[in-house]
Amino acid sequence: MTGAPDMLAGRERALAEVDLDAIRHNVRRLSRDLPPGAAHCAVVKANGYGHGAVPVARAALEAGSTWLGVATATEAEELRDAGLKGRIIIFGPLTGAELQRSVHAGADVVVWSELFARVAVRLGARCHVKFDSGMGRLGVSEDEVRRLMRLVASGPSPLVGLMSHFATADEADTAFFEYQLGRFTALAHELKTAYPSLLCHTANSAATIRSLPSHFDMVRTGIALYGLAPSNEDPFKDDLRPAMRLSSYVAGVREVRPGESVGYGRRFVAEAPARVAIVPIGYADGISRALTNRGDVLVAGRRCRIAGTISMDQLTVLLPDDHGRPGDDVVFFGESGGARILCEEVARVLGTINYEIVCDVSPRVVRSHRGAGPAA
């Protein structure tokens, strides 16, 4: 655009900045209380919870992680294609074709039924048997675990691990968490006798932080790896550093007279003269439409309220009389000018969890990774 201000030159419409040094810090923090010899698995499924699977995985391995966790064969292949050498475990169910691709990628798989176990053994997959200690999804009973262990151990496939997953580790009431942990502990101790090299693992982020007895031979951390609180509260109290900052900018400012509206559906009507910033980001970028008229952003470090309906590619923000001009930074979560909005705050406004906030940042938002090592 002719005459465009220099302040907009080279600016990204929507930018997710990811601090890889924060990822490294979080790996070291989550590993500091592990028993000697225990491993850290960095969970990088769902494109690293929206942060970028490959750069996050690389940073995690540099900081001491030795395993990477994903949900699909395609995710495992992406890591291998990027040249990453860490051990990979695929948590999700797989078809026969996906299982073959997983074996080719050198990834371990999770065994949760006899049929799947037989196919995995036939293909030579490295197997972790999943015990359903109370999650109620994938997994088998104690008796079935013993049977699947024997099936895998009798074939050419390596029997690598015993695993489970907690349903309530992030909740204040620990009764069910303790019940699950007790069941897993008893079974793990029994099977370690029969299979001394068995890798036992069940701790997610919340359990890793709150329960040393849950660590066993490996912990698998997802949400805390990204500096987000498993409790959906304050990550800083657990010495976690949020890694992502999502921002856009003020594309223009307009004056609105009393009675005039802004946006679809006239959901914001000015009661007095007002100044409104137009920001080129919307629900197609991951800014939930449910934040209409109730979400806050930071405009040049100052809190301002979203005003009017969030549309696919744009939204509008109500500005104070003396603040806000074209080119100003607009931050949806992260820090600006000494002020901060946490993903956890946004999640509470929406009645959801911080996982969804970062995972919803869409692929069309540019990712910028700072703190990358020489191999990045």
Cα–Cα separations (whole angstroms), residue 39 to 27, 30, 61, 147, 359: 11, 11, 11, 26, 26
β-partners of residue 95 are none
User: Which one, of 361, 344, 365, 362, lies nearest residue 353 by Cα?
Assistant: 344
Distance CA 312, CA 324 (A): 23
Contact 134, 176 (CB under 8 A): yes
Contact 99, 120 (CB under 8 A): yes
3 state DSSP class of 57: helix
Catalytic residue among 45, 130, 195, 283: 45
Query: Is 237 noted as a catalytic residue in this protein?
Result: no
Query: Is 195 noted as a catalytic residue in this protein?
Result: no
Phi and psi angles of residue 111, each rounded to the nearest 5 degrees, phi first = -95, 125
- Please tell me the total number of residues recorded for the chain in this structure: 376
Catalytic residue among 85, 264, 283, 355: 264
Q: What share of the chain is helix, strand, coil (3-state, %, to 5)?
A: 35, 25, 40
Cα–Cα separations (whole angstroms), residue 180 to 139, 189, 199, 284, 351: 13, 14, 18, 39, 27
Distance CA 279, CA 313 (A): 9
Q: What is the torsional sign of CA 29, 34, 37, 43?
A: negative
3 state DSSP class of 73: helix
Contact 16, 41 (CB under 8 A): no
Active site residues: 45, 264
